Structure 1
């Protein structure tokens, strides 16, 4: 491998072996590059638009998530209060049942 590289480096390039670009070829290539650049810029603008839309959707989803978390917290607090009230009611009924079973008049 090293021998091949050294032989390539050692060989001088002859003027007849190297193609020179004409001004027309260079101008054509420059025009192709300008067109490609314009195409890439349009594509970039479209991708930026998609990114902005995705960012807005993500922000909307985040706000919705926050609202749902607040609502869930409120629902959990309501459920806890209802469970405590239900537990108190069940305990009261259990006391009344125990009193009725023992023949003691229930307290009102």
Structure 2
């Protein structure tokens, strides 16, 4: 199990425990975290799971992947160097305690 901390733009925190091997988007949706929609079901075909990885976790999650993920992020607002699609982050033991911040809104 991996603990993930989702922080809303308002500062409200949601901590969930999820099975390894699922995406950070799936963990959020299954646990009712507001602000993560995952409209495409995790196919990286929308940007409704846009999140910001806290700086101390960037080395472990890596940056947005070239190709599909970066292309989809072009549809999100307020993208920066910490932007990722939560559906493209697979949870594992190394990510236990991961902190992901949510944008003000999703498209």
Quickly name the TM-score band, shorter chain normalised.
under 0.3
Give the TM-score taking structure 2 as reference length: 0.14
TM-score (norm 1): 0.14
- In terms of fraction of residues, the more helix-rich structure is 1
Structure of greater relative contact order (alpha carbons < 8 Å, 6+ residues apart) = 2
Q: Answer with 1 or 2: which has the greater Rg.
A: 1
Is the strand fraction higher in 1 or 2? 2
